[in-house]
Amino acid sequence: MGDKDIVSKEIIGRLAAYLAIYLLDLPIDPDFQEAMGTEHQRIEDRRADLVVKLRDRGGKPFL
């Protein structure tokens, strides 16, 4: 999967360069591409759908 990711980054970079050259008429060198780090730390809070604490008739709790 890592090889496909590298190839797709190259294709997207070249596509962005050609869009800048031909649509926006910017003087871009299509052979120079530098991947910028866009990774950001993500904090996730994962919770279960629903957890209920009950008690049986004897008074003993269970989940």
Residues 24-58 have pLDDT tens digits of 888 877 777 666 666 777 788 777 676 677 776 77
Number of structural domains in the chain: 1
State which residues form the domain around 12: 1-35
pTM across the whole model: 0.46
The verdict on residue 41 lying in a domain is no
Residue 55 belongs to a domain: no
Question: What is each CA distance from 28 to 6, 10, 24, 37, 44, in whole angstroms?
Answer: 22, 16, 10, 20, 39
Count the neighbouring beta carbons within 10 Å of the beta carbon of residue 21.
14
